[in-house]
Amino acid sequence: MTKEGSAQTLMILGASGDLTARLLLPGLGALLAAGDAPPVTLVGAGMDEWDAGRWQDRVRKAFGEHADAGQAAPTLAGTRYARADVTSADDLRRLLDGADGAVSIFFALPPAVTVKACEALLEVGLPEGTRLVLEKPFGTSASSAASLNRLLNRLAPEERIHRVDHFLGKSTVLNILGLRFANRIFEPLLGSEHVESVDIVFDEQLALEGRAGYYDKAGALADMIQSHLLQILALLTMEAPLSLDPAVFRDATAEALRATRLWGGDAKTSSLRARYAGYAGEPGVDPARETETLAEIVLAVDNWRWAGVPFRLRSGKALGTGRKEAVVTFKHPPRIPSGFRGPDQPDRLRISFGPDRLALDFDINGPGDPFVLDPVTLEAEFGPGGLPPYGEVLRGVFEDDPLLSVRGDTAEQCWRIVEPVTSAWRAGQVPLLEYEAGGSGPEESLLSPTRTAG
C-alpha cells in the first residue's frame, strides 16, 4: 500500500474532455484541499495542442474555491500538459518516462480509445505499482468486458485496477450498510417473508445536455442500469459482510449479483424501453439506432432470502420530477383487526440518494377518531459525505483502496444480467414507446404505483 504523504503522479489521458473538466478535476481539487491528501503531480495528456497556460487555466477553473488550499496550490503550480496520441506506444513511453512516484493512469477517453491505449501500454511496459483507472462503460457485453479484463490483467494485478462507479460515493455505500447492518430494526424484515417488491429508480430532469455523441450509442439501460443501479441492488440484497474490508465487501456484492437474473427470463414482460418525444430530432442523434432514453427491467435475486421478490429498476431522462431512490414495499399485515377503518396502503422504506435520506411510511391511528388509520412518515437524514464522489474515487485510487471500484468478474456479471434484454430489444421483440418530455414517463411503466397521500 502506498503511504499517505508519498509522491504520486496522476496522469489523465483525455485531459481536454468533458469528464476531466466537469467531474475529475473538481473532485481532485476538493481532495487535495481536504488536507490529508498526498502531494500529487498532475499530468494532462490529449490530442489538442494546448500550451501550459491553457491547461493551468483549466485546472484552476475546475479546482475553483479549492485552488489555493492544502495540496491543491502546489499541484496547480506544478501541473503540466503534454500533447500525446495515447494510442501510440512512443507517446506513452515519453509520458511515463517523466513521471514521479507511484503513477495512476486515468483513462478519461472514449471506450474504444481506452482499449487501444491499453494495447499500446503492453508494448511500453508499466512502472511497478502503476494503477489503472477506467470509466464506465466497461465493455459493451459480458464477452467484451471479459476480454478487456484479460487485457488489463496483463498490465496490472486486479487490486490496482479501478473500475470507477462514481454514482455510489463511499458515504452512500456505507450509509446503506449502516442502515441494514448496524441496528436490529430493518434487517430481519428484508427478505421474501416481508417484502412485496423493491423499486430502484433514477429519474432525471436533464435531457441530453449536448452529450448525444456518447449517449446515443449507450442509452439508459447501459448508461445507468447495467452499471449504477445494479450496484445499488447488490448493496440492498447482499448478506452481511464480516467487515468493511474491500475484499470482503466485494465478495458479498459479487455473490448477490451472481444470483440475479431477469424476472421470468422473458424480456417481453420484464423490460420496457421508451424515448422522450423530440429525442430523435436532437442534434447528433441517429433515430435509426432507436436508443432508449428510459429503460425499466424487472429482476429476480434468486437466492433463499429473496426468491419471489421482484426488483424493478428504472432510469430515464427528461422527466418532470427528478427521483433517485430505492423503495422497499412491504407485504400487507396478515390481518388488520376488524373495526379499523381508513386507508390501507403498503408500508414502505424509501432510501433517497444524493443527498442520502431515509423515510419509513406506514399507517397508524390518526388524529381524532382512533378507529381511523392515517399514513405517517418517519424521516432521517444521513450525514453528507465530506468529498464529491470523484474526490472519494481518487482517494481510493491513491490509497489502493478498491471499495468503490467494481471488481472484474462483477463487471462481467452486470452485463450477463442485462444481456437477455439487449438481445430482445435488438431483435425488435419489445416496442420502443414514446413519452412526453417533462412528464412522468410511459403509462405502461412496470414500477409499483407511488403511495398516495392521506
Active-site residue set: 228
Least separation in angstroms between residue 83's CB and ligand NDP is: 9
- Closer residue to ligand NDP in complex, CB, 249/390: 390
Nearest residue to 163 (alpha-carbon basis) of 185, 177, 145: 145
Q: What cell was used for 7?
A: 509522491
Name the segment binding ligand NDP (CB under 6 A); options: 84-92, 286-294, 310-318, 374-382: 84-92
Among 8, 9, 71, 87, binds ligand NDP (CB under 6 A): 87
- Closer residue to ligand NDP in complex, CB, 22/332: 22
Name the segment binding ligand NDP (CB under 6 A); options: 16-24, 63-71, 263-271, 401-409: 16-24
Least separation in angstroms between residue 14's CB and ligand NDP is: 3
Q: Alpha carbon of 207 to those of 223, 235, 276, 297, 320: distances in Å?
A: 13, 28, 9, 21, 11
- Closer residue to ligand NDP in complex, CB, 135/325: 135
Q: What cell was used for 163?
A: 473500475
Q: Taking a C-beta distance cutoff of 8 angstroms, is the pair 275, 432 a contact?
A: yes
Nearest residue to 153 (alpha-carbon basis) of 399, 401, 407: 407
Q: Taking a C-beta distance cutoff of 8 angstroms, is the pair 27, 41 a contact?
A: no
Residue 48 binds ligand NDP, judged by CB under 6 A: yes
Among 2, 39, 47, 67, binds ligand NDP (CB under 6 A): 47
Q: Taking a C-beta distance cutoff of 8 angstroms, is the pair 99, 43 a contact?
A: yes
Least separation in angstroms between residue 147's CB and ligand NDP is: 17
Return the residues of window 321-350 that contact ligand NDP according to CB under 6 A.
none
Q: How many CB atoms lie within 10 A of CB 219?
A: 24
Distance between CA atoms of residues 42 and 106, nearest Å: 11
CB-closest chain residue to ligand NDP: 17
Return the residues of window 131-170 that contact ligand NDP according to CB under 6 A.
135-137
Tell me the backbone φ, ψ of residue 242, rounded to 5 degrees: -65, -35
Residue 109 binds ligand NDP, judged by CB under 6 A: yes
- Closer residue to ligand NDP in complex, CB, 118/298: 118
Least separation in angstroms between residue 229's CB and ligand NDP is: 14
Distance between CA atoms of residues 60 and 19, nearest Å: 16
Return the residues of window 199-218 that contact ligand NDP according to CB under 6 A.
214
Distance between CA atoms of residues 65 and 402, nearest Å: 28
Name the segment binding ligand NDP (CB under 6 A); options: 43-51, 122-130, 140-148, 200-208: 43-51
- Closer residue to ligand NDP in complex, CB, 8/114: 114
- Closer residue to ligand NDP in complex, CB, 85/159: 85
Q: What cell was used for 355?
A: 443527498
Residue 111 binds ligand NDP, judged by CB under 6 A: yes
Tell me the backbone φ, ψ of residue 451, rounded to 5 degrees: -65, 135
* Contacts of 332-335 spanning 24+ positions with Cβ under 8 A: none
Least separation in angstroms between residue 186's CB and ligand NDP is: 31
Distance between CA atoms of residues 97 and 80, nearest Å: 14
Q: Computed from CA positions of residues 179, 323, 446, 284, in that sequence, does the dihedral angle turn out positive or negative?
A: negative
Residues in the interface with ligand NDP (CB under 6 A) total 24
Residue 18 binds ligand NDP, judged by CB under 6 A: yes
How many residues would you count in the chain?
Answer: 454
Residue 82 binds ligand NDP, judged by CB under 6 A: no
Residue 386 binds ligand NDP, judged by CB under 6 A: no
Name the segment binding ligand NDP (CB under 6 A); options: 4-12, 82-90, 200-208, 298-306: 82-90
Q: Alpha carbon of 282 to those of 123, 215, 316, 440: distances in Å?
A: 41, 12, 16, 20
Binding mask 230-269 for ligand NDP (x = CB under 6 A): ----------------------------------------
Binding mask 113-132 for ligand NDP (x = CB under 6 A): x-------------------
Task: Please report, to the nearest 10 degrees, the dihedral formed by the alpha carbons of residues 212, 201, 415, 258 taken in order.
Answer: 170
Cα-only R_g, the chain:
23
Name the segment binding ligand NDP (CB under 6 A); options: 41-49, 182-190, 249-257, 269-277: 41-49
One-letter amino acid of 114: T
Residue 110 binds ligand NDP, judged by CB under 6 A: yes
Which residues in this chain contact ligand NDP in the complex, by CB under 6 A? 14, 16-20, 22-23, 46-48, 84-87, 108-111, 113, 135-137, 214
